[in-house]
Amino acid sequence: MALKIRLARAGSKKRPYYQIVVADSRSPRDGRFIEQIGFWNPQLPKDGERVKVDEDRVKHWLGHGAQPTDRVLRFLDAAGLAKREARSNPKKAEPGKKAQERAALVKKAQEDAAAAIAAASAPVEEAPASE
């Protein structure tokens, strides 16, 4: 049985409240879980009691092979219970293939226009008059 430490949503519409639970990975998000080991209330200010985790139970379940989701791993890293590697995806900020093609066409057109203006404004050397 693959165990996950994940969030289960509670609370009413537009007022989320999450329980940090240990559940079978096949069970639904808000469905059956094995144990509740904490909570996260995103409505509270960040400097308050926004996240609360039972450290002993987290260590117990991590020792039994439970895998935390990315969001829960962030909470555990902040509490010093687990280490989360920093992620970097520099390609995410790049425009798509079509946008890059359009930008290249615009740049080429600007360069051609600049070259045409430079050629038109360059002084024309007169050929010596033949006698």
Measured CA to CA, the distance from residue 131 to residue 117 in angstroms comes to 34
Instruction: Report the pLDDT value the prediction gives residue 125, as an integer from 0 to 100.
Output: 66
Residue with tokens 């049985």: 1
Q: Could you tell me what percent of the chain has a pLDDT over 90? A: 59
For all residues of the chain together, what is the average pLDDT? Answer: 88
CATH of 3-79, one of 3.90.1010.10, 2.60.40.1180, 3.30.1320.10, 3.40.50.1820: 3.30.1320.10
Element (H, E) at 112: helix 97-121
Instruction: Report the pLDDT value the prediction gives residue 15, as an integer from 0 to 100.
Output: 94
pLDDT digits 0-9 by tens, 89-112: 888 888 889 999 999 999 999 999
**25 Cβ neighbours under 8 A, 6+ residues apart:** 2, 3, 4
* Burial track 67-77 (b if 16+ CB lie within 10 A, e otherwise): ebeeebbebbe
Instruction: Report the pLDDT value the prediction gives residue 23, as an integer from 0 to 100.
Output: 93
Q: What's phi and psi for 118, nearest 5 deg?
A: -65, -40
Residue 131 has pLDDT above 80, yes or no: no
Of residues 37, 33, 25, the one with CA closest to residue 61: 37
pLDDT digits 0-9 by tens, 38-56: 999 999 998 888 999 999 9
> What's the rounded mean pLDDT across residues 80-90?
85
Measured CA to CA, the distance from residue 65 to residue 17 in angstroms comes to 26
Residue 1 has pLDDT above 90, yes or no: no
